[in-house]
Chains A and B, each alone.
Chain A
């Protein structure tokens, strides 16, 4: 009887535990050192410094000024999600119906923002929106307004700029969901008497929902923790939670309270992710024929 041949990496579908660990180790070490450790120490500080206390958390969720920042963060993240969805769905649909050069141009114009720094794009928005910026000059030149409008440092400006930055994260999942819907479904629907609008409403849009939900989750969660764009475009009046955390750490040197804010944000993100996982399980139940 010969010995069972050793399978290292490419021999079969099931890797040994050692091989699995080896494959994941570089990432696990990085995640531990750069993420789990500092986050843990921050949360530890928020709960146990100087003595075990929930006072920092109480302050974070009861004091009106901080509560307002959190509500604004949620409101902005939700607005950004809705706006990107409205912008992304038609674009993703067009992309799914395109091929060749047209598709390449569309994909590039969606991905291009991802290849440029967030900071650069944010400054570009500032140039557009500032008091003597391009938009105000155009409006005044056209005689629509006589005085420059206050565009920068408004919630609307933050939502607009963040939507621009986060658009690819909404377009790509919806595009891939739509790309996976065979033409035959809409042919079958039309054959069965569905108008084009009914085909969209009853067949195409429902089948795009897996992409819509994962796009919404990604954009919403990224928007919750956004820092650079709201800090520069929103200014101190439109502060979001990430800016508040940074302020606590850098200006107030209050690590414990910053930790409590991070804890609240983290709890919220986990809650959303769990709710989403339920939705995803429903989607999987749909399956595909």
Chain B
């Protein structure tokens, strides 16, 4: 029996350079450039219409770009048809061929490459074993559960040792528990065989769980690319701050000018002055949005900090989320982890809010 390591290929990187794709007047992808490192797990994350799937389809060869180049392992494949790209792909729907057995499905790409019958079967069985489905080879896809079908689809996509594995929301059709299990399993498998993966998802938790790096897209533009930690801790745009994790946004106006990363003072709509880090260079008196994570807000005695009133307390076992109304009529979320000292305040109680300046980020209009 082949061991999983035998499926590993010398992994290679992908370079996308100035990619533009228009559908009519709409730019589905707007000048996106990014590089995927060899052996890296990159997630393309964004809401629907952000262009993430179009980028994947351009890498796969099902969409030809209007501008820009795509290189895989240094080789320009922009105009190569999909069947000659030697890439692996797992689709959203399982797309296992219903008239073939599981084993025939996995052997299909080998058959297309002229591999002999005996070797085909041996390698297909090894791939089936890699996704822990030994003994299911003779079944028809319709006799497998959704999770099993998706594992077969992965086996079929890696059996011919493709240089890169593309995944188009492959887990979105599974229910929540199975999806979380498959996230870990897929990540584990990717690390074992070392293949470069580009993974499209609209689910930020999935992206943070699985990816080495995440590229966040919105309206066809690349917003930010970085490790999950970078995206969460140092979002470069207000969109990223809002899309990754939970964030409170407060509108305000700068009281002083500042360069990127500098601590500045901001007057909120209610007139209260607070401190935050400037994300880009900001002039004095410009409107800004301040982003603060719910777990970075802290409660102080009423009369100190930003005044607020407790509107609702939502208990979720591991933490309690407080909804707090500020004088300007805004509602902020504050998270108190379970087991902390002191009880949570009563509903209707007046409290004060404060945060460390380095936990709040001020985005100008451009960001």
Contact = CB atoms under 8 A, between A and B. Distances in A.
B142 interface: yes
B89 interface: yes
B117 interface: no
Nearest to B144: A289
Interface residues of A, number: 23
A207 B96 CA distance: 12
Contact of A192 (B93, B94, B112, B141): B112
A185 B95 contact: yes
B156 A192 contact: yes
A163 B152 CA distance: 44
Contact of A193 (B86, B91, B97): B86
Contacts of A108: none
Interface string A168-206: 000000000000001011011111111100100011001
A148 B94 CA distance: 60
Contacts of B94: 289
A161 B82 CA distance: 44
Given A194-B83, A287-B140, A287-B142, A184 B109 contact: no
A286 interface: yes
Contacts of B91: 184, 187-188
A32 B142 CA distance: 41
Given A188-B91, A286-B98, A193 B141 contact: no
Contact of A286 (B86, B87, B99): B99
A188 B98 CA distance: 13
A184 B142 contact: no
Given A184-B91, A191-B89, A289 B112 contact: no
Contacts of B87: 191
A285 B98 CA distance: 10
A193 B93 contact: no
A188 B142 CA distance: 17
A288 interface: yes
A198 B97 CA distance: 14
A289 B148 CA distance: 12
Contact of B99 (A193, A198, A206): A206
A184 B98 contact: no
A207 B62 CA distance: 22
Contact of B112 (A187, A193, A209, A286): A193
Given A190-B81, A191-B83, A207 B95 contact: no
Given A187-B62, A289-B142, A195 B95 contact: no
Contacts of A209: 99
B355 interface: no
B61 to A, nearest CB: 8
A190 B84 CA distance: 8
Contact of A190 (B83, B88, B97, B149): B83
A188 B89 contact: yes
A289 B141 contact: yes
Given A285-B140, A287-B142, A193 B109 contact: yes
Q: Which of B62, B89, B108, B160 has the most CB of A within 10 A?
A: B108
A194 B93 contact: no
* Centre residue among A188, A192, A194 by max chain B CB count within 10 A: A192
Given A202-B108, A288-B142, A207 B83 contact: no
Contacts of B113: 193
Interface in B6-32: none
B109 A289 contact: no
Interface string B141-176: 111000001000000110010000000000000000
A39 B202 CA distance: 65
Interface string A251-289: 000000000000000000000000000000000011111
B119 to A, nearest CB: 16
Contacts of B99: 206-207, 209, 286
B60 interface: yes
Nearest to B109: A192
Contacts of B141: 289
Interface string A86-112: 000000000000000000000000000
Contacts of A288: 98, 142
A223 to B, nearest CB: 28
Given A182-B95, A185-B97, A189-B108, 9 more contacts: A184-B95, A188-B89, A188-B97, A192-B160, A193-B83, A193-B113, A207-B97, A287-B143, A288-B98
Q: Top 9 closest A-B pairs, CB basis?
A: A287-B142, A192-B109, A193-B112, A188-B95, A191-B89, A184-B95, A190-B82, A190-B83, A289-B141
Interface of A: 182, 184-185, 187-195, 198, 202-203, 206-207, 209, 285-289
21 contacts: A182-B95, A184-B91, A188-B91, A191-B60, A191-B82, A192-B108, A192-B112, A192-B156, A193-B109, A194-B83, A194-B108, A195-B112, A198-B112, A202-B108, A207-B97, A207-B98, A207-B99, A287-B143, A288-B142, A289-B94, A289-B95
